[in-house]
């Protein structure tokens, strides 16, 4: 991350396509595995760019034609826009509530907004980033197969089943943080599986770096890192105890520290930076814009046994074959006497367990995307069912290295049955994506694609409103752009206002909470040059809107400081607010 930020600040060429390929090439060079034929390595590059184009094409169509967006994706683009084109441009303008990887990745693309306005208005910057990261996830899975010497037909089948899964395509195309998180998890899994055979500190360190990247994408990686570090320590303890009598405890501790160092550094740098700038040590927990505050503002979540069972169902929706693969993995681990099945189960299973726990305790929403890593775990376990036949070549093999990965054969017929079952499971998953109960963020687009517009007027209206979300905000932005207002002339909170700001051709006309003079302008709008204030109802998340907190009756009557100029009834999803634009009374 530091290299990326430095290159950007110094004005160097740092496009995200180049950065992703740099990561991939570094990953390739670190492995130094020469057993894979050149054709397989070239096939991996072709796979990467082919899938990147497919995901980007799907995302561009969804954004430009369907005009369908997910709020988190659009919000991160707005943060990147504020870093470059806001009234108070700086890296701190992106905020410290959510992890920074997606926003940082989008900054070079958002810089092209003057030439390509769609980069921000239609969030194409987010689409490019998620497409590249998801293509990178496919590439890591391919490399995992080639390094193990898995039969090519099986490698192609597993990777394509993963890459063309409708949920993978959806989140490779919509700019959410799931793509970089899944990329980093598969990268970490691949390097840990290499380390298991090579005992090479480079593989272990690379896995740690991958989890640091995962943390910069999603906070879940902290739990994953701790759980996996315990297993890493156990593996080193066990295999070193046979060859370094009396020293194995020290070796286990060193390996754990090497593994945890990158993610620990990322955590410290991110949290301390946020504390120094905002005063909140962990903004995700303490900020009024954080996840806990959002849940409280929306009336809380029930949690409990029903949430627990619903979480398990969502995992099965995404990976129906996973229970069978876990059983097969257990049997193969015993047969092979290897930890290789354990590592991905702990690595990705801990992420799933954390989401199940969070849903059960009512501390997170039960969105299907939070369990997306189940698809990655399903693909890895399926891949590991095929026996390894490669010879690993490490930069510096450890004393516990077993470089020749020769394993008992598995019948091609059994592998074929597993592939067929995986393909059939996807056919079972797709229809469920059209359910607003199980897939509240995906159902409207799935129904539109399948031609299923519902069987009642209410269902049709619900689907239409979902697809129209943020259209009202774009029209508000167009209305304000025509007025040719001065910098900072429109005061708005970013809780809902991000969708207005990101759609505007002139983001400098807005005063938002990340601007250093936001409080001064809120206190004395007329004296500070504010001409308009955008207001939302003082209910739900709007109850914590700084405008409503300072002027409790503002939405209803302008609080005697402004007069009503415009009412914009929202035609998006029900939780989107109806807007009121007030003109500030000038002294």
Q: Indicate the number of domains in the chain.
A: 2
464 within domain boundaries: no
Question: What Å distances lie between residue 172 and 53, 57, 165, 254, CA to CA?
Answer: 10, 10, 10, 37
452 within domain boundaries: no
169 Cβ neighbours under 8 A, 6+ residues apart: 54, 55, 58
- At 332 the pLDDT is 85
Report the length, in residues, of the chain: 587
pLDDT at 293 over 80: no
pTM exceeds 0.85 = yes
| CA–CA separation, 519 and 560 (whole Å) | 19
Q: Are residues 334 and 422 in the same domain?
A: yes
Position with higher pLDDT, 334 vs 343: 343
476 within domain boundaries: yes
First to last CA, the chain: 48
Question: Highest mean pLDDT range out of 40-49, 330-339, 518-527?
Answer: 518-527
Q: Are residues 501 and 358 in the same domain?
A: no
Q: In this structure, are strands 579-584 and 562-568 parallel, antiparallel, or unpaired?
A: antiparallel
Q: Are residues 403 and 533 in the same domain?
A: no
Domain containing residue 550: 471-584
Q: Phi and psi of 25, rounded to 5°?
A: -70, -35
pLDDT in tens, 433-444: 888 888 888 888
Q: Are residues 494 and 424 in the same domain?
A: no
Q: Are residues 484 and 428 in the same domain?
A: no
Pseudo-torsion of CA 138, 139, 142, 143, nearest 10°? -150
68 Cβ neighbours under 8 A, 6+ residues apart: 62, 444, 445, 467, 469
Position with higher pLDDT, 387 vs 164: 164
Tokens of 305: 């046994």
Residue in this structure with the two tokens 């891949």, named with its chain if needed: 383
Q: Are residues 379 and 486 in the same domain?
A: no
Largest CA distance in the chain: 85
Which secondary-structure segment (H or E) carries 23?
helix 16-31
Q: Are residues 97 and 205 in the same domain?
A: yes
Write down which residue in 401, 417, 432 finishes a domain: 432
Residue 186 and residue 144 in contact, taking contact as beta carbons nearer than 8 Å: yes
- Please give the share of the chain, as a percent, with pLDDT higher than 70: 87
pLDDT in tens, 101-137: 999 999 999 999 999 999 999 999 999 999 999 999 9
477 Cβ neighbours under 8 A, 6+ residues apart: 500, 501, 503, 504, 505
Q: Are residues 408 and 549 in the same domain?
A: no
Question: What Å distances lie between residue 302 and 156, 353, 365, 561, CA to CA?
Answer: 43, 18, 10, 40
Query: For the residues 328-337, what does the mean pLDDT come to?
Result: 85
Q: Are residues 517 and 400 in the same domain?
A: no
| CA–CA separation, 89 and 70 (whole Å) | 25
Per DSSP, the three-state class of 15 is: coil
- At 31 the pLDDT is 42
Query: For the residues 305-309, what does the mean pLDDT come to?
Result: 92
97 within domain boundaries: yes
Q: Are residues 386 and 502 in the same domain?
A: no
**Among residues 211, 194, 189, 198, which one has the least CA distance to residue 258?**
211
Q: Are residues 281 and 364 in the same domain?
A: yes
Position with higher pLDDT, 26 vs 471: 471
pLDDT in tens, 31-84: 444 445 567 788 999 999 999 999 999 999 999 999 999 999 999 999 999 999
Residue 350 and residue 227 in contact, taking contact as beta carbons nearer than 8 Å: yes
CATH code at position 494 = 3.40.190
pLDDT at 203 over 60: yes
Residue 513 and residue 75 in contact, taking contact as beta carbons nearer than 8 Å: no
457 within domain boundaries: no
Q: Are residues 427 and 487 in the same domain?
A: no
**Among residues 357, 347, 351, which one has the least CA distance to residue 371?**
351
- Per-chain mean pLDDT for the chain: 86
Tokens of 330: 């257990």
| CA–CA separation, 287 and 307 (whole Å) | 25
| CA–CA separation, 184 and 192 (whole Å) | 12
Residue 365 and residue 301 in contact, taking contact as beta carbons nearer than 8 Å: yes
């Amino acid at each position: 991350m530091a290299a990326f930020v430095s290159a950007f600040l110094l004005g160097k060429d740092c496009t995200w396509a180049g950065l992703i390929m740099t990561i991939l090439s570094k990953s390739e060079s670190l492995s130094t595995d020469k057993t894979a034929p050149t054709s397989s390595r070239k096939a991996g590059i072709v796979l990467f760019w082919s899938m990147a184009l497919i995901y980007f094409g799907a995302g561009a169509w969804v954004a430009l034609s369907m005009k369908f967006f997910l709020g988190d994706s659009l919000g991160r683009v707005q943060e990147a826009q504020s870093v470059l084109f806001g009234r108070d441009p700086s890296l701190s303008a992106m905020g410290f509530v959510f992890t920074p990887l997606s926003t940082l990745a989008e900054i070079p693309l958002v810089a092209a907004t003057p030439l390509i306005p769609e980069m921000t208005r239609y969030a194409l910057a987010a689409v490019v980033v998620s497409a590249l990261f998801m293509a990178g996830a496919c590439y890591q899975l391919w490399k995992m197969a080639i390094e193990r010497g898995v039969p090519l037909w099986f490698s192609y089948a597993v990777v394509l089943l993963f890459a063309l899964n409708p949920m993978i395509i959806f989140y490779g195309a919509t700019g959410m943080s799931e793509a970089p998180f899944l990329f980093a998890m598969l990268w970490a899994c691949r390097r840990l599986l290499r380390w298991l055979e090579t005992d090479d500190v480079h593989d272990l360190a690379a896995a740690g770096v991958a989890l640091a990247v995962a943390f910069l994408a999603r906070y879940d990686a902290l739990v994953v890192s701790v759980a996996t570090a315990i297993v890493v320590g156990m593996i080193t303890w066990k295999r070193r105890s046979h060859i370094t009598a009396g020293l194995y405890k020290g070796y286990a501790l060193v390996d754990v520290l090497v593994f945890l160092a990158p993610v620990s550094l990322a955590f410290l740098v991110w949290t301390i930076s946020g504390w120094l700038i905002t005063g909140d040590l962990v903004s995700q927990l303490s900020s009024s814009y954080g996840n806990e505050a959002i849940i409280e503002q929306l009336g809380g979540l029930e949690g409990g046994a029903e949430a627990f069972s619903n979480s398990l169902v969502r995992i099965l929706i995404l990976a129906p074959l996973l229970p069978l693969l876990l059983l097969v993995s257990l049997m193969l681990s015993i047969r092979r006497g290897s930890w290789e099945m354990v590592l991905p189960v702990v690595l990705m299973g801990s992420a799933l367990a954390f989401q199940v726990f969070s849903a059960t305790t009512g501390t997170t929403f039960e969105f299907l995307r939070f369990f997306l890593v189940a698809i990655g775990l399903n693909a890895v376990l399926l891949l590991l069912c095929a026996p390894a036949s490669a010879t690993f070549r490490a930069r510096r093999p450890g004393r516990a290295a077993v470089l020749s990965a020769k394993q008992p054969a598995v019948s091609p017929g059994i592998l074929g049955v597993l592939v067929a079952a995986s393909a059939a499971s996807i056919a079972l998953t797709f229809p469920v994506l059209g359910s607003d109960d199980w897939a509240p963020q995906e159902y409207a687009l799935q129904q539109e694609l399948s031609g299923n517009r519902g069987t009642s007027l209410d269902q049709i209206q619900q689907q239409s409103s979902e697809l129209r979300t943020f259209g009202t905000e774009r029209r508000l932005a167009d209305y304000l752009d025509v007025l040719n207002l001065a910098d900072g002339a429109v005061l708005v909170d970013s809780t809902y206002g991000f969708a207005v700001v990101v759609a505007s051709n002139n983001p400098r006309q807005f005063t938002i909470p990340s601007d250093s003079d936001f409080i001064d302008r809120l206190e004395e709008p007329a004296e500070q040059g504010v001409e308009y204030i955008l207001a939302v109802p003082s209910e739900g998340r709007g109850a914590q809107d700084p405008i409503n907190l300072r002027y409790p009756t503002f939405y209803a009557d302008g609080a005697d400081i402004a007069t009503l100029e415009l009412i914009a009834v929202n035609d998006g999803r029900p939780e989107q607010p109806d807007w009121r634009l007030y003109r500030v009374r000038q002294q």
